[in-house]
Structure 1
Amino acid sequence: MKSSRVCMGLLVAECVLVIVSWLLSAARIEGVRSMLSSEGIRWFFGGFSNIIANPLLAWLLLALIAGGSLKQSGVLRHFTARGEASFRNRLALRVAIVFVVLYALVISMLTLMPHAILLSFSGHLFPSAFSRGLVPIICFGITLFSVVYGIISGNKQKGEDVLDILSYGLRQGSSLIIIYFFAIQLYASLRFVFG
């Protein structure tokens, strides 16, 4: 319900922007471009895919996968359950932690060693390939931890179960993806009209 209101608000704002841009452009206000002009219509239809294909979308998708995998794998239940966890769940937690530590070691070797691959050409972490890939690196680590825990604990054993772990967050957060589409388009439209 809340997501639909946000989407409707963003859609109304986009429509208002189209009309306001046309009115301001017709009034010959300098620096304002109309979205109803031939240039504006070409920009809207021709640039839509480029506007949507933004690193923010990739980060949103990866965050949804990581968050959903934490929930679906059963690792959150491990920490919130009252009483002592079963031997298999404790073992799964230890093995998952080992995997994450190994993953952190690999990332450390790619960033902290002299002349490391993920450093910038000047040898710094920020800005570098590491800093640009920080969100995917974190999300992949969380997802790796969750999947390993889910498999070892016996919560998820088949290939379909692993796919279920990975897709759960996307299913639950699908409304956020739609909100992103409307929000990023409104932002790009504002930049086009007044930029």
Structure 2
Amino acid sequence: MNRHERNFVCVLIVAALLPFLSWVLSALGVPCRSLLDDEGLRWLYSHASDSLRGFLVTFALCCVIMQGVINRCGILPLSRTFRDRRFYRLAFVYAVILIGCLLAAVLTPNSPFLSITGSVADSPLLYGLPFLGWFSFIVFCLCYGYPRCKRWTRMLTYGLRRNPLALPFAVAVSFCWQCIKYMIG
């Protein structure tokens, strides 16, 4: 068993033991909520799918897809051919425009990113910004690598095939994190 498999098994063991640990801790008088009482089981069954659509799982999926696209499209190692220089210029201009638009959206007085107090709000719109950047980068890499690879599906799934435990690991960690938040809060 390699290191990644060992880490995955450890997280699965922690996820399996958390309900029992919460029950033991609450029985010992530690101020935490049990996952095995009526309210805890109701929370567990109603929030089990939250670990599948959490920020960590989406982040892991984007990272794995981006790693596969970067490896398969041929963008690395950086070269100085005419085609590559044109692509790098286009990607740089697009990144500057995207960052400029986002800064303009944040710095304007009627920005959708600002809260009532005037600070940057903690909103799903703000959480979506890194994924917009990742999606744009993935699309650029797909367009760049299409003449070499000819199949977009191979580029998109290469990272998932190389790291098959990344998403289940992220789901297990997300589940553990949500259980701990419930137990403490």
Would the TM-score normalized by the shorter structure come out above 0.5? yes
| 2:149 counterpart residue number | 156
Structure 2 unaligned runs (5+)? none
Matched residues in 2 for 1:31 and 1:163: separation?
50
Query: Percent identity at matched positions?
Result: 22
- The higher relative CO (CA closer than 8 Å, separation ≥ 6) is in 2
What letter corresponds to residue 173 of structure 1 in structure 2? Answer: N
| 1:11 counterpart residue number | 12
Which structure would you say has the larger Rg?
Answer: 1
Q: Does 1:40 pair with 2:40?
A: yes
Matched residues in 2 for 1:101 and 1:116: separation?
28
Query: What count of residue pairs does the alignment treat as equivalent?
Result: 179
Distance 1:193 1:126, change over 3 A: closer
Give the TM-score taking structure 1 as reference length: 0.74
Deviations, residues 107-144 of structure 1 (Å, cap 9, x unaligned): 1442344749976348x895588853442233234323
Distance 1:111 1:187, change over 3 A: closer
Matches within 5 A, 1:102-117: 102-113=93-104, 115=108
Matched residues in 1 for 2:110 and 2:86: separation?
28
Deviations, residues 50-89 of structure 1 (Å, cap 9, x unaligned): 233112222221122222111011222x43xxxxx7xxx8
Matched residues in 1 for 2:157 and 2:134: separation?
14
Deviations, residues 3-26 of structure 1 (Å, cap 9, x unaligned): 221122112223333222222333
Q: Tell whether the 8 Å contact from 1:75 to 1:146 is kept in structure 2 after alignment.
A: yes
Matched residues in 2 for 1:147 and 1:16: separation?
42
Per-residue deviation, 1:149: 2.2
Structure 1 unaligned runs (5+)? 80-84
Per-residue deviation, 1:150: 1.0
What letter corresponds to residue 111 of structure 1 in structure 2? Answer: L
Matched residues in 2 for 1:133 and 1:12: separation?
32
